[in-house]
A and B are shown apart, each in its own frame.
Chain A
Amino acid sequence: MNTLARKILMAATGLFLCFFLLIHFLGNTQLFLEPEHAQKGFNAYSKFLSNNFLIKGVSYLLYLSIIAHAIYGIIITNKNNKAKGSYKSDHRGRASKWYSRSMGVLGTLILIFLVIHFQNFWYQYKFGEVGLDPYGNKDLYGVVVASFQNSWLVVLYVISMIALAYHLIHGIQSGIRTLGLFHPKFVRWVNVFAVIYSIVICTGFALMPIYIYFTT
């Protein structure tokens, strides 16, 4: 595999994860409903997702993408560290944005967040003891509300969403150019789209724990 092939793999998995985030975000907006409606809708939605075989297939692709994106991120970073020059006086940072140079660090923060996030909800839902709601569905909404009573967890989620926003702002436009979009006009559009997409999704996600913390 050469440098371009590795980057294409990063771009493809990364953009797939970005698309997943949108679906995840739209589903989770139910959390902003009135508690009774939110509980009914969110739990029914969770049940639908976990029972649908198509979604099951996509979820395996999702786990695989996260793992591949992380592993190739490490491989690429290692190779880059061997290739780069180091300078006694280094002011090269003036030429680029800090977050474009910190994708590895931001990615690591996001990976740590993901482990915690999976433990909080995914693991609880699949393997933990979760009660039933009045409609007979597993009460994931209850788990969410209970988790976000912990102010530290809320802070952790908000910080992680800030890291994710910066990771996405660079990642989306970098990924699309890695796949070969080179027309100046469309590249400009993609840059604007990346900023709007990242800010909307990450602000939305960050508001969920804050909303639950202050309203329940």
Chain B
Amino acid sequence: MKLQLKIWRQVDRNSAGKLESYQLDNVNHHMSFLEMLDTLNEQLITNKERPVEFDHDCREGICGQCGVMINGIAHGPLKNTTTCQLHMREFKDGETILIEPFHGAGFPVKKDLKVDRSAFDRIISSGGFVSVNTGQAPEANSLPVSHETAEQAFDSAACIGCGACVATCKNGSAALFTSAKITQLALLPQSEKERKTRVIDMVNQMDKEGFGHCSNTEACEVECPQGISVLNIARMNYEYNRANFFKHKK
């Protein structure tokens, strides 16, 4: 199949970017979206042009590295799919595809389709962990977790941190990402000790990174490759209110 591509090209963080058009003639409809971009880059390198830079890693839909806006939709038209798992059979022969990087105040563009998502790392570092002594694994039965709770925590832990929620949100809010980690840890007994400080620290870090307010439009859940529920956000709000209500005065 033949494709007309319009891709966001930006030399570095500080320069202004713009859309550039490319023609691609030999696209196989079995190719993944990233393989299509690889094909384009081969063509560009052959023509001694600068290849299009984009993030990717596992190409199996589980690492959260890839992710671009395809025709104005995060990860493209197919729901609950990462960009790498999107195949060219979803597009028509001769179609024009517009590709832009995820971006926002918390997500500056580094180059072309590559985005600096280290804000997410800093949110996790601010409290998305359990402080435990290293050593031998404790006796499993000493910390009973019901099957249901474990499954719920796992549903929240399924977030791959791709940033589609921020890109899709009309407010550029990172509430879904932050709340998924807070909910996962709030459900498990190992993380109980840091429950109050965690939510306050992570919310403050989320704000410091410049992300917007959640207005519960629920668009993030719809476009999330992992289908992370917006109820995680409600849970984060609950945890935040609880932590403030029962805060000890210093």
Contact = CB atoms under 8 A, between A and B. Distances in A.
Whether A associates with B in a native complex is yes
Interface of A: 2-4, 6-8, 76, 79-80, 82-85, 87-92, 94-97, 100-101, 103, 170, 173-174, 177-182, 184, 187
A3 B215 CA distance: 10
B214 A7 contact: yes
Interface stretch (B87-95, B102-110, B123-131): B102-110
| Among A95, A170, A179, residue most surrounded by chain B Cβ atoms (within 10 Å) | A95
A85 B217 contact: no
A100 B237 contact: no
A154 B32 CA distance: 57
Contact of B242 (A76, A88, A180, A184): A180
28 contacts: A3-B203, A4-B236, A8-B237, A80-B171, A80-B172, A80-B212, A83-B104, A84-B104, A85-B104, A85-B172, A87-B72, A89-B71, A92-B72, A92-B74, A94-B222, A95-B168, A96-B217, A97-B217, A100-B217, A101-B217, A170-B216, A177-B230, A177-B231, A177-B237, A178-B214, A178-B234, A178-B237, A182-B234
A4 B242 CA distance: 13
Contact of A80 (B213, B231, B233, B239): B213
Nearest to B97: A89
A143 B128 CA distance: 60
A20 B87 CA distance: 53
Contacts of B105: 82-84
B238 A89 contact: no
A40 to B, nearest CB: 44
B148 to A, nearest CB: 13
B69 interface: yes
A94 B73 contact: yes
Contacts of B145: none
Interface residues of B, number: 55
B207 interface: yes
A84 B73 contact: no
A173 B230 CA distance: 12
A4 B74 contact: no
Interface of B: 6, 8, 19, 69, 71-74, 98, 100, 102-107, 166-173, 175, 203-204, 206-207, 210-220, 222-223, 230-242
Contacts of B169: 84
Contacts of A94: 73, 222
Contacts of A96: 170, 217-219, 222
Contact of B215 (A4, A174, A181, A182): A174
Contacts of A4: 203, 236-237, 240
A84 B212 contact: yes
A92 B8 CA distance: 18
Nearest to B212: A83
B216 A92 contact: no
Contacts of A174: 215-216
A116 B211 CA distance: 36
B69 A3 contact: no
A92 to B, nearest CB: 5
B207 A103 contact: no
